Structure 1
Amino acid sequence: MATVGLLYVGAVLFINGLLLIGVVDGRAAAPINLFVGALQVVTPTYLIIASGGAPAVVLAASGLYLFGFTYLYVGIGLLAGLDTAGIGWFSLFVAIAALGYAVVNFRLLNDRPFAVIWLYWAFLWALFFVVLGLKHESLARYTGWVTIIQSWVTATIPAFLLLTGYWPTNNVLALGLVVGGVVVFGGLFLLERRRAPRAPAPTHRPPVPAATA
């Protein structure tokens, strides 16, 4: 059930990435955030209730709320025109929590590829904090492309592999994700910096009074 939710996390990340690079309008992106956010809140609630208190199930389900609350927050914020500072600072909380879940997957669950995926999410939500919470909008386009890439690498493709029973938990995949993440996201950052327009040289002109209404 949680794996099905992961598949649609890929969908909402894809749309939100397009939102950040200016392809999708905010109101158009709101419904998918609300749909997936609701799914990511209902699913862990059901899993926890049905678990009979099994610690491993409760632990695995608890992380889903981080994403469910994020998408609900985003969807409501887009429709209501809320300031992004709230979701930005909540994203910092998610980024820090994701580091803990990475350790859990690495040491307790022995799923090292998914531990790296949690690190991917920590990085992405840290970017959300910088762009939305600290208002560094110059990184919005970079964050959008990182979001689009992660929608496939951390959600859609792993979900399909998990659903079909082909998800590997070996160190080779984990190492490949680490190297690939550093190369792709680092190269993308350098590419975005090169394409960013340079500020025009200042011109020495006498000040012009501001126009009045």
Structure 2
Amino acid sequence: MKNPIYLIFYSLILILSNACVPGGPDTADQLDIVYTNFDSDYNFTTPATFAMPNNVVLIDRETIENPGSNPPFVDFIIGQVILNRIRNNMTSRGYTQVSEFNDPDLIILPSIAVGDRVFFDYDWWFWGWYYPNFSPEWDWTYPGYLPSVITSVETGTVLIQLTNPKGLTPQNQIPVHWISVINGVVTGSSGDNSNRIVRGIDQAFVQSPYFTR
């Protein structure tokens, strides 16, 4: 990875699970944690349009270490829950969805991590199948984000990054202006998954009030 970003996460899970649920959790959703971070120098009221892929990428260690032309995707139903909820939140805040070929101001890249250790800044090739004008020389840049490490995430963690396709730097880096890590919500039954995903994505936007037009 050319420009890794990590988030201090595992200790936060332990602290919140003990502090917020006296006597320990009764259900898995009591351990759900939503982390967001953003570029404080970026004006979120400026962009008007956004694009998203039709599928949600599945990230695991094997596919990261053995890249192919297309990454694996998550189950279609779960993927649509994620995409629809992001879309609903974006449109309710005044943004309009367009095709990736219609010069969007923003591109949102959702994925699900499986395994006990995942780096958020996974290799660029993961999105080469979707991102317009793909170049293997590009990578991501995350300006001003602190803290800077994810030590561990649970299997089934939803990762979302919001990128600026028009902001390519002279160093061939694409700015990532907003990220969200929704910990371990894709577990259990499909109905429970959907409810936890919806709550987690909604919470990511609730705690990002700057994210509006």
Tell me the TM-score normalized by structure 1: 0.27
Per residue, is there more strand in 1 or in 2? 2
Q: Which has the higher contact order (CA 8 A, sep 6+)?
A: 2
Per residue, is there more helix in 1 or in 2? 1
Tell me the TM-score normalized by structure 2: 0.27
